[in-house]
Amino acid sequence: MEILLNGDPHSIEQSCTIESLIVKLELDGKFAIEINKNIIPRSEYPNTRIHAGDNIEIVNAIGGG
Amino acid sequence: MPNSSTDALSIAGVDYSSRLLVGTGKYKDMDETKNAIETSGAQIVTVAIRRSNIGQNKEEPNLLEVIPPDKYTILPNTAGCYDAESAVRTCRLARELLDGHDLVKLEVLGDEKTLFPDIPQTLDAAKQLTDDGFKVMVYTTDDPIMAKRFEEMGCVAVMPLAAPIGSGLGIRNPYNIRTIVENANVPILVDAGVGTASDAAIAMELGCDGVLMNTAIAEAKNPVLMASAMKKAIEAGREAYLAGRMPRRAYASASSPIDGHFF
């Protein structure tokens, strides 16, 4: 199914969770995640299912003033 | 004599011995970032919140490994936000990212040319954030009335610009900065505009509680050396402020006594 990931179209398997998306993307370090502008607490990653058309933002800290 | 243990900068109930706050943008690489920040002696360090590069730069170290949150107070900023909604959203993401850490630097910008703050949007965002339990350090214009408004809303520090962000033009309106300091019951930090060490010293001599800077260090030919200079300038300016400068006179006043003159 199709989702928007950081503003770009992205294909993932049906009934994927945030946890499995993180594994698939090989994300490490510290990040935070929003689905459709709602923040998903880290503890909820395994229980949060992604639906077709979801708008997912994954952010981290970078250099800034 | 005041020293770092008796003359702490207190922000949201936490005491800091350094009055220099630094950003982490515009450095050549992570090594330079780390060296400059360590040399500056800063304890509060700003970061930006941006989309992760999915599937890229796997080898590049994460910024939070270079400036670990157990060693520094991380101050997420809302740089690049032009409305209250995106600034509030950024702060909430930052709080999740940093495990509930709720000290933030709020800046809501008005336009790309000046990077001046949009004050109505900043007020709106500051209200939402303080209501939501955030400790807000707010970037604003050098307007004493606005500075007071932000203090009254519960912002934990007010940070007027001295000149446009990244301009390096120095303290353009020292009289306004002084008025803001005189009226304030929360820390006042100059945020933006400092170009070199004397600018930082002037801000501190005016009575500011601290200075936040990024470009002045990062864009110096030798950023690590400039970080060292800024550390000294902040300390010198603070000590001069506490010492109380001599009055200005229109004419000379001899330093050597007249009595006992032998010719």
Q: Point out the residue among B97, B212, B214 whose CB comes nearest to the CB of A31.
A: B97
CA–CA min distance B212, chain A (Å): 8
Whether residue A5 lies within 8 A of chain B, CB to CB, comes out as yes
Handedness of CA B25, B29, B34, B39 (dihedral sign): negative
Task: Decide if B113 contacts B128 (C-beta within 8 A).
Answer: no
**pTM passes above 0.90:** yes
Whether residue A11 lies within 8 A of chain B, CB to CB, comes out as no
How many helices (H) and strands (E) in chain A?
1, 5
State residue B58's pLDDT score: 61
**Which residues in chain A have their CB less than 8 angstroms from residue B94's CB?**
32, 61
> Do the chains contact at B214 and A65, CB–CB below 8 Å?
yes
Task: Decide if B218 contacts B165 (C-beta within 8 A).
Answer: no
ipTM of model: 0.93
pLDDT in tens, A15-58: 899 999 999 998 888 899 999 999 999 999 999 999 999 999 99
The DSSP bridge pattern shows strands B157-160 and B135-140 to be parallel
Name the band, by pLDDT with cuts 50, 70 and 90, for residue B196: very high
CA–CA min distance B247, chain A (Å): 36
Angle between helix axes B119-131 and B84-97 (nearest 10 degrees) is: 40
pLDDT in tens, B81-101: 999 999 999 999 999 999 999
Whether residue A25 lies within 8 A of chain B, CB to CB, comes out as yes
pLDDT in tens, B8-65: 999 999 999 999 999 999 999 999 999 999 999 999 999 999 999 887 656 677 899 9
Whether residue A62 lies within 8 A of chain B, CB to CB, comes out as yes
Q: Point out the residue among A6, A60, A64 whose CB comes nearest to the CB of B97.
A: A60
Q: What is the 3-state secondary structure (H, E, C) of B168-204?
A: CCCCCCHHHHHHHHHHCCCCEEEECCCCCHHHHHHHH
Active site residues of B: 105
